[in-house]
Structure 1
Amino acid sequence: MNRLLALLLAVGILTGCGSGQKHAPGERPLTFSDFKALFPEQKVPYRLMADSLLKKMPDSLAVQLSELKMFLTDTLTGTDTTRAKRLKYFPLAYIAGPDMQYFVVKAVDKSSATAYLCITDKKGKYLNALAVASKKEGSNTEQMSGMVDSKYLIKTSTERQVGSNTALREDFYMAGADGRLTLIMTNSNGPTTGGPIFNPIDTLPRKHKFSGDYTLGDMSLVAIRDGQDAKSFQFFISFVKDNGGCRGELNGIGHFTGSNKGEYKDKESSCGIAFQFSGSRVSIREVGGCGAYRGIKCFFEGSFTKKKKSDK
């Protein structure tokens, strides 16, 4: 009988080890594999809706702040360490990317919840974190939802109530090899401000005959600057259409394919842009899908007129 009891007990222990249960404190030091096993594994595309954040989860699933400090970070909520200790943290998802690992952690207090996407390298070294979803109980004025798409681009969608209308802002981020997050595009259906477009390549050399600023209206720009050699050029495209209802932004390095033609091919996606230069104009045409860099109802296309270079 004692041998049978010992056997049943051993089977129970082995079953518990493989079920993703919380690591029992005091047994042995928590490893990164133990910590990762607390998060349900998910595949891309992964979506996290704001309304789902307020769904109550059992306290037994909570991750201790000390565990977050060991493997991720203790600064998810900023510098307010007192508030950080009051929050409860829950593991929502683990996503294994080709170069990085993604952990989704929900931080909850009495009336609100925020989800953070934490990024580590393949060995588990913490790199960065971004708030990707939030919801406050009883409030419909603002909420944020998040997504990691099939190409591991990160999108946050923020909804704000403006009078009787809902304003939507979408921010697209790309994570570099070091975990640094770059905002590559913002799409908003809010009213345009009418302010000048910030051109990140404005100060670069423009000696080539096609280099310069080409515009279409007040809120659309194609900037061309000299490349590292005669066969390449740098560009920045920004446009606003439908009174702010659709936006696009893209910059990169293009290559001349003829005396007045050029092309750009994105290494991270199927996006491509064809350039046609003629006199004081440039026409652009989207080749492939560039949806990660623009709204879904507009495209990189049109004919732009070259501006005269002003003396500074």
Structure 2
Amino acid sequence: MKQILLAIFILGICLSACHTKKAKVLHGDPQTFDEFKSMFTPAAAPFKLPADTLAIKLPDSLALKPATVQRFLNDTIGQHAFAPGVKRHFYPLYYFQTGEKDNIIQYLVLKVSGSGQSLAYLCIASKKGVYLNSLPVGRVSNADQQVQYFSLDSKSTIRVTTEDQVNGQTAQKEEVFAAYPDGRIALILTNSSGPVSPEKAFNPIDTLPRKHKLSGDYAAGSDGVISIRDGKDAKTFLFFISFSKNKGGCTGELNGTGTFTGVNKGEYKDKSSSCGITFRFSAGAVNIKEEGGCGAYRGIKCFFDGVYVKKIKKGSK
């Protein structure tokens, strides 16, 4: 079945190329956004990306050059989902748009693969082809049983579904986002068939080094976890936050790179929104506070604010 899907996908790319004057960019370097988007298979909303499609291994000949991704999107997409040194491969999947006149939103579905996992990102560009934002919307991995896939309707409502295998049963979480022409992505609703504990949530930085004295895992009861890992230098750190409040009725998840602003202080500022997080470390705990609007990464009735107690690493005294 996967072989058939792969053949259909590649055929779609070839047919798309044959019907455009810019077909040559499939084997060259695109110079304009229109040439770049012609490398993606045309689609239309309503659109759905099943996990099976993301799992198909694509030939290296279809991969985008990192320089091309950097020029038209952002080559840091997916960076924090992979361990340092892992080579990421970027594949153009689909292109479509919604809206009319000045409210047109252009979408590019980008696949990022490496080290046994593949992720899908929904990249948003303006009417003029300027990259604005991206949202992780799909994931398959050889290392665990979590899968993620998404759909989008003609009104730019995005539904991201995450399925986890917990104790032999499938726990499903659906997050509903709204996308706007200025690039904003707002989480407007979360549905769950049974909240998955943050301990079971996929942690993209779990295996990264934790040699810094403040690095480690911090928890707030059974409803929240924050991981701190070593950054590329002594001034930075990586973090991953996942929480569930109001009995699973409001959740949040965010990961990125923070900067130490003092001996026991740090901050994070999102490049694509006004979202900011401050970190204050004390003896065996970290207090985080949301600064600015982080609605794209959490429910509308809860915030990232909280105190997380550092967990003792197994095997340490």
- Equivalence map 1:237-256=2 (5 Å): none
Give me the whole-angstrom Cα distance separating, in 2, the residues matched to 1:178 and 1:114: 24
Shift of 1:82: 8.0
1:186 is aligned to 2:187: no
Unaligned runs of 5+ in 2: 1-16, 198-245, 251-317
Question: 1:135 matched to which residue of 2?
Answer: 140
Superimposed CA distance per residue, residues 114-153 of structure 1 (whole angstroms, 9 cap, x where no aligned partner): 000000100011110001000002632x110111123221
Superimposed CA distance per residue, residues 151-210 of structure 1 (whole angstroms, 9 cap, x where no aligned partner): 2211100001111211100000001231111000000010599xxxxxxxxxxxxxxxxx
Q: Give the SS at the match of 2:41.
A: coil
Q: Give the SS at the match of 1:56.
A: coil
Shift of 1:22: 3.4
The percentage of aligned residue pairs carrying the same residue is 35
Question: 1:165 matched to which residue of 2?
Answer: 169
Shift of 1:77: 1.6
Aligned CA distance change for structure 1 residues 96 and 158 (closer, same or farther; 3 Å) = same
1:54 is aligned to 2:59: no
Shift of 1:50: 1.5
Shift of 1:73: 1.0
Aligned CA distance change for structure 1 residues 82 and 25 (closer, same or farther; 3 Å) = farther
Give me the whole-angstrom Cα distance separating, in 1, the residues matched to 2:132 and 2:158: 15
Give me the whole-angstrom Cα distance separating, in 1, the residues matched to 2:31 and 2:191: 42
Shift of 1:34: 1.1
Aligned CA distance change for structure 1 residues 192 and 78 (closer, same or farther; 3 Å) = closer
Question: 1:22 matched to which residue of 2?
Answer: 25
Q: TM-score, normalised by structure 2?
A: 0.51
Give me the whole-angstrom Cα distance separating, in 1, the residues matched to 2:18 and 2:170: 49
- Equivalence map 1:114-125=2 (5 Å): 114-125=119-130
Give me the whole-angstrom Cα distance separating, in 1, the residues matched to 2:36 and 2:76: 18
Superimposed CA distance per residue, residues 50-109 of structure 1 (whole angstroms, 9 cap, x where no aligned partner): 122121112221111111111111121245898587111111000122221000000111
* Worse overlay, 87-96 or 69-78: 69-78
Superimposed CA distance per residue, residues 1-45 of structure 1 (whole angstroms, 9 cap, x where no aligned partner): xxxxxxxxxxxxx9696373534447xx62111101100110111
Shift of 1:110: 3.5
Question: 2:14 matched to which residue of 1?
Answer: none
Question: 1:113 matched to which residue of 2?
Answer: 118
Aligned CA distance change for structure 1 residues 24 and 85 (closer, same or farther; 3 Å) = farther
Aligned CA distance change for structure 1 residues 68 and 161 (closer, same or farther; 3 Å) = same
Q: Give the SS at the match of 2:35.
A: helix
Q: Give the SS at the match of 1:86.
A: coil
Unaligned runs of 5+ in 1: 1-13, 194-239, 249-312
* Worse overlay, 148-157 or 100-109: 148-157
Superimposed CA distance per residue, residues 231-285 of structure 1 (whole angstroms, 9 cap, x where no aligned partner): xxxxxxxxx9xx98xx79xxxxxxxxxxxxxxxxxxxxxxxxxxxxxxxxxxxxx
Aligned CA distance change for structure 1 residues 168 and 192 (closer, same or farther; 3 Å) = closer
* Worse overlay, 98-107 or 48-57: 48-57
Instruction: Report if the CA contact (8 A) 2:118-2:140 is conserved.
Output: yes
Q: Give the SS at the match of 1:108.
A: strand
Amino acid at match of 1:144: Q
Amino acid at match of 2:158: I
CA-based RMSD:
3.2
Q: Give the SS at the match of 1:70.
A: helix
Instruction: Report if the CA contact (8 A) 1:77-1:84 is conserved.
Output: no
Question: 1:76 matched to which residue of 2?
Answer: 77
Q: Give the SS at the match of 2:23.
A: coil
Q: TM-score, normalised by structure 1?
A: 0.52
Question: 2:292 matched to which residue of 1?
Answer: none
Amino acid at match of 1:40: T
Amino acid at match of 2:175: D
Amino acid at match of 2:170: T
Question: 1:176 matched to which residue of 2?
Answer: 180
Work out the number of aligned pairs and report it.
Answer: 183
Superimposed CA distance per residue, residues 275-312 of structure 1 (whole angstroms, 9 cap, x where no aligned partner): xxxxxxxxxxxxxxxxxxxxxxxxxxxxxxxxxxxxxx
Q: Which has the larger radius of gyration?
A: 1
Question: 2:314 matched to which residue of 1?
Answer: none
Instruction: Report if the CA contact (8 A) 1:145-1:158 is conserved.
Output: yes
Give me the whole-angstrom Cα distance separating, in 2, the residues matched to 1:167 and 1:109: 26
